[in-house]
Amino acid sequence: MLIIGELINGMFKNVREAILNKDKQTIIDLAIKQIEAGANALDVNVGPLSKEPVTDMEWLVNTIQEKVNTRLCLDSTKPELIEAGLKLAKNKAIINSTTADVEKLNIVVPLALRYNASLIGLALNKKGVPQDKDRRLELAAEIVGFCEAENFPIKELYLDPIVLPINVAQAQSNIIFDSIKEFKLLSDPSPNTIIGLSNSSQGAKNRRIINKTYAIMSMLSGLDAAILDPLDKDLIDLIITSEIILNKQIYCDSFLEAYRKKAG
């Protein structure tokens, strides 16, 4: 599974302060720790409070790349921020994200093609997050159809059913697991699937056990990628072990260390 570290996000106070103070070391430490823990890519999000988001995105990307050679997942609703990151990214980037709105697809899919990036497509549009599976599938199918028409390679597309917190949307989880399975049937070759794992436990108590259980259940549905906190060592161990049990990695006695050595 593609593990994308979530911790370089201006939503977190330490990152917000590091951006304001141009404190490179905090960002570099977060980057190194996440990669050492098993992340294959790093989410980069300037956060909702950034006053100079383009400059902040450029600073984050340059700061990370000074010391760490990894894929970046450029996380913003604004295409101009994503493009600022794409221009600087040294490895194949992941655009996070487009919605199913045609106006958005018209801007973001050409960007993905021009910069040879992977693309996350969210199963939502201007009307918001659908509450049922069929509507999520319709929106996902619209994204797949648009990408096919523009010759964007479907193997570089990651469809996100949008995980909602279980404390306020408990009935949604089954819909998410079914959506993950059915998104895979939308085309041949299949699109990939991705979730923001920590969304599942936002606002809840016992967050770590919710995240872990949600991860395993999503993997059983065929999940291909997740944005998550890789510093939760038990979570990464569970993910690696699930890959072994699902026969996606070859077993060896040192499978936990062997998988981590391959990451990054």
Residue of closest CB approach to ligand THG: 196
Q: Give CA–CA dist 132/172, Å, rounded.
A: 8
CB of 160 to ligand THG, least distance (A): 4
Applying CB under 6 A, the span of 26-34, 61-69, 132-140, 193-201 interacting with ligand THG comes to 193-201
Q: Give CA–CA dist 144/190, Å, rounded.
A: 10
The answer to the question of residue 96 lying near ligand THG (CB under 6 A) is: yes
| Contact string (CB under 6 A) for ligand THG, positions 55-94, x = contact | --------------------x-------------------
The answer to the question of residue 211 lying near ligand THG (CB under 6 A) is: no
Output the 3-class SS for the chain: CEEEECCCECCCHHHHHHHHHCCHHHHHHHHHHHHHCCCCEEEEECCCCCCCHHHHHHHHHHHHHHHCCCEEEEECCCHHHHHHHHHHCCCCCEEEEECCCHHHHHHHHHHHHHCCCEEEEECCECCECCCCHHHHHHHHHHHHHHHHHCCCCHHHEEEECCCCCCCCCCCHHHHHHHHHHHHCCCCCCCCEEEEEHHHHHCCCCCHHHHHHHHHHHHHHCCCCEEEECCCCHHHHHHHHHHHHHCCCCCCCCCHHHHHHHHCC
Answer for the pair 242, 18: CB distance below 8 angstroms, yes or no. no
The answer to the question of residue 173 lying near ligand THG (CB under 6 A) is: no
CB of 202 to ligand THG, least distance (A): 5
The answer to the question of residue 163 lying near ligand THG (CB under 6 A) is: yes
Applying CB under 6 A, the span of 111-119, 169-177, 192-200, 255-263 interacting with ligand THG comes to 192-200
Residues near ligand THG (CB under 6 A), total:
16
Residue 169 in tokens = 């949307």
φ, ψ dihedrals at 203, nearest 5°: 80, -5
Among 9, 50, 118, 218, binds ligand THG (CB under 6 A): 9
CB of 68 to ligand THG, least distance (A): 19
Applying CB under 6 A, the span of 7-15, 132-140, 177-185, 211-219 interacting with ligand THG comes to 7-15
Among 98, 198, 211, 218, binds ligand THG (CB under 6 A): 198
Q: How far is residue 223 CA from its own chain's centroid?
A: 12
Among 227, 236, 240, 263, binds ligand THG (CB under 6 A): 227
CB of 70 to ligand THG, least distance (A): 17
Find the binding residues for ligand THG in span 120-139 (CB under 6 A).
120
Q: Give CA–CA dist 137/142, Å, rounded.
A: 9
CB of 59 to ligand THG, least distance (A): 19
The answer to the question of residue 26 lying near ligand THG (CB under 6 A) is: no
User: Which residues of this chain interact with ligand THG, rule CB under 6 A?
Assistant: 6, 9, 11-13, 75, 96-97, 120, 160, 163, 196, 198-199, 202, 227
